[in-house]
Amino acid sequence: MAQNSKNVELKLQDVDVLTTGIVAEFVINILDFLLFHRSQIPFVYKTYKYYVNKWDDDEQNENKQESFKHYQLQKQRSLAKQTKDAISNMRELIRRTFRSNNTVKSLRFLFGSNRFMPSESYTIHIPHASISKYHGDLHSMPDGPMNQTLLQLLTCEELYTLWSTELKTTNVFLELELFTNKQNQQVETWKLFPKEVVSQLPRSCKNVHLHLLHETDKSELQCCKELTIYEDIAILNLNPTDAKVEEFIKETEERTAWWQADVIVRGFKAPKFDLWSC
């Protein structure tokens, strides 16, 4: 088991209603953040995607030249496109999985040559108890809350120390822990395969746990506690007891299974010659 374990709390601020779609966007943006800050892509994802897509338009207008320089250029562009496409597929897989009725308990990104001996592991714990069941997979939200969450990662001293060592270009794998006890529910297994045995991280692996926390301001509701309706609810004992809640949570947590995605992101390191303005 990995010894270098770090726990980081990420507060999802200014998010009144948390939906599966919003959580998926948070996870996707964390993936983009990790890919850039762990040197797997040369730019932030939006900029990287813009440059790569721009090549398709340029290739239609340029004259093909049979030269070694042109061959090198096309070779690097092809590798960059493969990385961009893999990131896009992994992002879409995350969206589709979260869309399948709140089944995700946690997921982790493994950075390494293979999924059994990763150099770094980032596990994201989902606040599934805070996810609304009445707003579907709504994913639209302002950039402000997203940027505030990523800023917490950027200013985290523990991660800054952990990232003092540069990570070479490597592979990025995705594994998900899904609930299996949901009634009348089918897990969408698009490009997901069950893992019979959960992989144990090597002792040398940097193991980071990111805990997403959703907190809402309920101070404005305190005055309502004096209303008669709250007394009636207490008399009817409609609120579940702490013992029942703990028993339900324990039972739920025991019924999970790990799945692995077949999408693998292979990091791209830009060559020494100017690839982007060619």
Looking at residue 189, what is its pLDDT? 56
Give the whole-angstrom CA distance, residue 92 versus residue 94.
Answer: 5
Q: Which domains does the chain have, with CATH numbers?
A: 4-221+257-266 (3.30.900.20)
Low-confidence ranges of the chain (pLDDT < 50): 183-184, 218-223, 225
Residue 132 pLDDT: 76
Output the pLDDT for position 135. 58
Q: Tokens 């297994």 label which residue?
A: 189
E strand segments, the chain:
4-12, 104-112, 120-125, 171-179, 192-194, 206-214, 256-261, 265-266
CA 124, CA 275: separation in Å to the nearest integer? Answer: 34
Q: Quote the pLDDT of residue 47.
A: 94
3-class SS of residue 114: coil
pLDDT of residue 222: 46
Using one digit for the tens of pLDDT, what is the confidence trace for 228-245? 555 555 555 555 555 655
pLDDT reported for residue 59: 63
Burial of 50 (0-12, 13-18, 19+ CB in 10 A): exposed
pLDDT given at position 242? 58
Maximum Cα–Cα distance across the chain = 84
pTM of the model: 0.81
DSSP secondary structure string, 15-55?
Answer: -SS--HHHHHHHHHHHHHHHHHHTTSSSS-HHHHHHHHHHH
Question: Residue 139: its pLDDT value, please?
Answer: 59
At 110 the three-state DSSP class reads: strand
